[in-house]
């Protein structure tokens, strides 16, 4: 079943959110002017994008770290392809920070020439699927599919915003050499947040003091982000359905899929993804007790 045109449009083999982007704008990104100092977070939805945005913002903005500035994460690190407020990114001071769900082949040309830095975050697809299912219920700009079984099929067929999880992840991994890229996983961030923060600092060339690192880690935990209106979508209430304000940070765990999927559904996901997943140089973590 095709996704509803009310919510997505297909352009160059990828589903974009309707009303928040246009094909012309997406095409214009090919020649988007990249600065060497730019940093992009690239993800398939529900893989830990906002988490990584928060970490990056905490690393770069002292005012965020010490609580003197009350600027939303989305303002700090805007969405490249969903520039709803039509901001002039060329006027942004360096280093500019962006988030994107673009597949590798639709990113700005210079990014594919190794200019700027990209942090690509993956998460195991069963947790992505379950998180996406819940997210579609609360976000007004996404099509709600209330039957979970149907959603599983939609997800596996890539009939959702951002298309196929597998194509996205394999695409970025198999073209890693075109980019200046750091791969991280949601699960490693969950198991060792401090280690992930240090990896990011190292990759972006930022040296923080022990106290500053400690402050970033503390403010990037699930519990603390949940309380932080700058990070939990509280100010984006206009995009949420019903009384879901602040529910963006849902569970924040590894392995929640086990609470949601039947054995048959889990096997169905394995069956569809398994072969091509083997080509990925990633060891997926399905349970918090799995070894890294
Ligand atoms: P769940 O729905 O499983 O809770 P994205 O930002 O790419 O849309 O990803 C959203 C997922 O990341 C949600 O997963 C959300 O709760 C989780 N998340 C956000 N901040 C987190 C944090 N600090 N720690 C752990 N998970 C976090």
Q: pLDDT-derived band of residue 230, with 50, 70 and 90 as boundaries? A: confident
CA of 32 to the centre of ligand 1 (A): 29
- pLDDT exceeding 90 applies to what percent of the chain? 84
The answer to whether residue 14 is domain-embedded is no
CA-proximal residue: ligand 1, atom 25 (nearest): 252
163-181 per-position pLDDT tens digit: 999 999 999 999 999 999 9
32 neighbors 90 (Cβ within 8 angstroms) = no
- CATH code of the domain containing 48: 3.40.50.300
The answer to whether residue 7 is domain-embedded is no
d(CA 142, CA 159): 12
Q: Copy the structure tokens of residue 120.
A: 């690509």
CA-proximal residue: ligand 1, atom 8 (nearest): 46
The answer to whether residue 282 is domain-embedded is no
CA of 10 to the centre of ligand 1 (A): 26
CA of 252 to the centre of ligand 1 (A): 5
Mutation to probe ligand 1, out of 47, 48, 58, 162 (largest number of atoms < 8 A from CB): 48
Segment 126-135 mean pLDDT: 96
User: What confidence score (pLDDT) does residue 235 get?
Assistant: 67
82 closest CA partner among 33, 44, 25, 120: 25
CB atoms within 10 A of CB 216: 24
The answer to whether residue 9 is domain-embedded is no
- 64 or 239: which carries more pLDDT confidence? 64
- The model's pTM is 0.97
131 neighbors 197 (Cβ within 8 angstroms) = no
- Of all atoms in ligand 1, which is nearest to the CA of residue 249? 16
Mutation to probe ligand 1, out of 44, 49, 50 (largest number of atoms < 8 A from CB): 50
CA of 244 to the centre of ligand 1 (A): 15
User: What confidence score (pLDDT) does residue 291 get?
Assistant: 84
- Of all atoms in ligand 1, which is nearest to the CA of residue 256? 3
Task: Collapse the DSSP code of 283 into the 3-class scheme (helix H, G, I; strand E, B; otherwise coil) and give the result.
Answer: coil
Segment 104-114 mean pLDDT: 97
> Please, what is the end-to-end C-alpha distance for the chain in angstroms?
37
CA of 48 to the centre of ligand 1 (A): 5
Q: Which residues 6+ apart lie within 8 Å of 100 measured at CB?
A: 40, 41, 42, 43, 79, 80, 81, 107
User: What confidence score (pLDDT) does residue 165 get?
Assistant: 98
Segment 208-217 mean pLDDT: 98
User: What confidence score (pLDDT) does residue 276 get?
Assistant: 96
234-287 per-position pLDDT tens digit: 666 677 776 655 467 899 999 999 999 999 999 999 999 999 999 999 999 999
Query: Catalytic amino acids?
Result: 101
The number of domains in the chain is: 1
CB atoms within 10 A of CB 145: 22
Segment 217-229 mean pLDDT: 93
36, 57, 78 from 96: Cα distances, Å: 10, 11, 9
Residues having CB within 6 Å of any atom of ligand 1: 43, 45-51, 127, 131, 134, 190, 220-222, 225, 249-252, 256
The answer to whether residue 292 is domain-embedded is no
d(CA 108, CA 45): 19
pLDDT at 88 over 60: yes
Strand runs labelled E in 69-173? 97-100, 117-122
Lowest-pLDDT choice from 114-123, 127-136, 233-242: 233-242
User: What confidence score (pLDDT) does residue 199 get?
Assistant: 98
The answer to whether residue 178 is domain-embedded is yes
The answer to whether residue 3 is domain-embedded is no
The answer to whether residue 68 is domain-embedded is yes
Q: pLDDT-derived band of residue 208, with 50, 70 and 90 as boundaries? A: very high
pLDDT at 38 over 90: yes
User: What confidence score (pLDDT) does residue 126 get?
Assistant: 98
- pLDDT exceeding 70 applies to what percent of the chain? 96
Q: Copy the structure tokens of residue 126.
A: 């069963």
Segment 144-151 mean pLDDT: 95
Mutation to probe ligand 1, out of 47, 248, 249 (largest number of atoms < 8 A from CB): 249
57 neighbors 211 (Cβ within 8 angstroms) = no
**Parent domain of 53:** 20-277
């Amino acid at each position: 079943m095709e996704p509803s045109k009310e919510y997505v449009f297909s352009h160059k083999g990828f589903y974009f959110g309707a009303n928040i982007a246009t094909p012309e704008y997406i095409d214009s990104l090919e020649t988007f002017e990249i600065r060497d100092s730019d940093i992009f977070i690239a993800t398939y939805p529900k893989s830990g994008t906002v988490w990584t945005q928060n970490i990056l913002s905490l690393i770069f903005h002292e005012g965020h770290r010490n609580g003197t500035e009350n600027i939303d994460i989305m303002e700090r690190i805007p969405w490249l392809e969903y520039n709803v407020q039509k901001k002039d990114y060329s006027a942004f001071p360096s280093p500019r920070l962006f988030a994107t769900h673009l597949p590798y082949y639709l990113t700005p040309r210079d990014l594919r020439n190794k200019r700027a830095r990209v942090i690509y975050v993956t998460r195991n697809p069963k947790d992505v699927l379950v998180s996406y299912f819940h997210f579609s219920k609360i976000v007004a700009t996404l099509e709600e599919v209330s039957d979970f079984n149907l959603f599983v099929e939609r997800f596996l067929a890539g009939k959702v915003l951002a298309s196929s999880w597998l194509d996205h992840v394999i695409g970025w991994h198999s073209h890693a050499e075109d980019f200046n890229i750091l791969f991280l996983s949601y699960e490693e961030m969950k198991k060792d947040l401090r280690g992930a923060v240090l990896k990011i600092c190292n990759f972006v060339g930022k040296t923080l003091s022990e106290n500053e690192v400690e402050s970033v880690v503390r403010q990037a935990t699930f519990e603390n982000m949940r309380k932080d209106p700058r990070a939990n979508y509280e100010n984006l209430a206009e995009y949420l359905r019903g009384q879901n304000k602040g529910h963006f940070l849902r569970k924040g765990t590894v392995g929640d899929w086990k609470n949601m999927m039947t054995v048959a559904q889990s096997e169905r996901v394995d069956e569809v993804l398994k072969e091509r997943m083997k080509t990925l140089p990633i060891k997926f973590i399905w349970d918090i007790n799995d070894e890294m």
